[in-house]
Structure 1
């Protein structure tokens, strides 16, 4: 399914992306190699959908991901209906590239699990990146990156709509058909 742009130079020594960063190119693949599990599972030729700035959007196995928030069951039903009606996932989820904690997109992940899909489109970004900040949707919570990571890695999930992740870039529409998600 991966869409590799014409500016990617694949050489025997590995991927040597061109200096230009654009949708469909491979200059964003550095985030793939921050996590050894990802670098062993993700094939940039096959699994990279596009780049959003310097961040890769890739197809990632659902089983590797760690949620940090619960879901709202009413929203889950609404989204499931929307996804089934559209027959595709419009936006990638947001995933921390080193820990594979889901930062945004818990409902999409749950819908795909319910549909017995294996893959999800995900935008990978490091929590160390200054382009990413975390806030709270709730007045009664102070949410930090450490709190989010702890919740995701321990399985002690935060209530739904606790964290709000803000990026300095727009998350692209990817419109990935459900049939390509295994």
Structure 2
């Protein structure tokens, strides 16, 4: 598998509308671009929880063309801490009707262009700057960590 091959693992068909389903793909950690700073204590706790479960349960949601993390910055850092080579993700685009972005503090709509500009400049947003909402609800996975270490 190369970085850009879709390797679909599962699809959630939560509604009768096929456009609402999410595909889950496996991507190497190098594909992902962190978008916000993280709380490292939270990363360590999350890594411990994932390791004790032995399975990856929640895919990282990522902008499909540039790898910008929409939801899952802490999970990416936990995957690094666990020595995983790849993780499951949901590839979406800003502008997709299933995605809404709000300012974490004000609840106001967040300017999407600002996300691309900030990441292109090599900067990260502060912890809890953006809040992404997905409708319908995102699917879960149950992929053994051993599979992700050898991916």
| TM-score of the pair, normalised by structure 2 | 0.84
Cα separation, 1, equivalents of 2:51 and 2:145: 8
1:145 to 112, 118, 124: 112
Find the residue that maps to 1:170 and give its secondary structure. Answer: coil
- Contact 2:51 / 2:82 at 8 angstroms: preserved in 1? no
2:21 to 54, 61, 65: 54
The structure having more radius of gyration, on CA atoms, is 1
Query: What is the Cα-based RMSD across aligned positions, in Å?
Result: 2.0
* Aligned 1:109-128 pairs, distance under 5 A: 109-128=76-95
| TM-score of the pair, normalised by structure 1 | 0.71
Residue ranges of structure 2 left out of the alignment (5+ in a row) = 13-19
* Aligned 1:10-159 pairs, distance under 5 A: 41-42=4-5, 44=6, 47-52=7-12, 53-139=20-106, 143-159=110-126
Find the residue that maps to 2:106 and give its secondary structure. Answer: coil
Find the residue that maps to 1:77 and give its secondary structure. Answer: helix
- The number of aligned residues is 141
Q: Cα 1:162–1:141, aligned 2, differ >3 Å: closer, same or farther?
A: farther
The reply on whether 1:172 has 2:139 as its aligned counterpart is yes
Following superposition, the deviation at residue 90 of structure 1 comes to 0.6
- Contact 1:68 / 1:149 at 8 angstroms: preserved in 2? no
Cα separation, 2, equivalents of 1:133 and 1:54: 16
Q: Cα 1:54–1:141, aligned 2, differ >3 Å: closer, same or farther?
A: closer
Higher RCO, 1 vs 2 (CA within 8 Å, ≥6 residues apart):
2
Q: Cα 1:91–1:140, aligned 2, differ >3 Å: closer, same or farther?
A: closer
Following superposition, the deviation at residue 152 of structure 1 comes to 2.7
